[in-house]
A and B are shown apart, each in its own frame.
Chain A
Amino acid sequence: QKEVEQNSGPLSVPEGAIASLNCTYSDRGSQSFFWYRQYSGKSPELIMSIYSNGDKEDGRFTAQLNKASQYVSLLIRDSQPSDSATYLCAVPNNNDMRFGAGTRLTVKP
């Protein structure tokens, strides 16, 4: 089992819709979780971090964490074409960060 798993997509949503991105992780002891956005040809940029069970909202982004189910998700409300990118789930592992394969999101105008 991979340490961090994501559905690679592609995920396509219409403009204005809610995009839901999911991630599962294998290490039950993980305490922190990150979502990064990566545009084609660019390096990843941090958009959300979450440490406690429940929801964390930041503008149009909501991260959801369920440690019992080892599941973390990212919701993007009112999706815009500029949100089209690959979204990477990341979970620290000892001395480094483990990334999922990424979910490619396309928001269609």
Chain B
Amino acid sequence: GAVVSQHPSRVICKSGTSVKIECRSLDFQATTMFWYRQFPKKSLMLMATSNEGSKATYEQGVEKDKFLINHASLTLSTLTVTSAHPEDSSFYICSATRGVKEKLFFGSGTQLSVL
């Protein structure tokens, strides 16, 4: 199966700092990448859809100025959590797909803890 690499796997930061999370598709070109967040024992919540070379499409209620998404190439998308606060602590997961309505391949996730 296709491989999606996500790092860091775990990050602890101070309140007010920014954190960047990278998501790479290692062996295929991802036309679309998705960013999710997940709270303990809750389901995945789609934050935004990212297409290479264009602005990300954010889900309702997700602050685009706080969660900056850049999709610079067909193999790399980044999520930057700006001015992080404790309520931003969560498990962030990226996924990538070769095409619309095709299966998703997930990164290993990033556990963010904001002190």
Question: Which A residues lie at the B interface, using CB under 8 A?
Answer: 31-32, 34, 36, 41-46, 49, 88, 90, 92, 94-97, 99-102, 104
Q: How far is the CB of A105 from chain B (nearest CB, A)?
A: 14
Q: Which residues of B contact A100 (CB under 8 A)?
A: 43
A-B contact pairs, 9 of them (CB 8 A): A31-B101, A32-B101, A41-B91, A42-B109, A43-B93, A46-B105, A92-B101, A101-B42, A102-B43
Size category, B interface: 20 to 34
Q: Which residues of B contact A32 (CB under 8 A)?
A: 101-103
Contact status A45-B106, CB under 8 Å: yes
Contact status A95-B103, CB under 8 Å: no
Question: Which B residues lie at the A interface, using CB under 8 A?
Answer: 1, 6, 32, 34, 41-44, 46, 49, 57, 91, 93, 95, 97, 100-109, 111
Residue of A nearest to B43 (CB): A101
Q: How far is the CB of A60 from chain B (nearest CB, A)?
A: 19
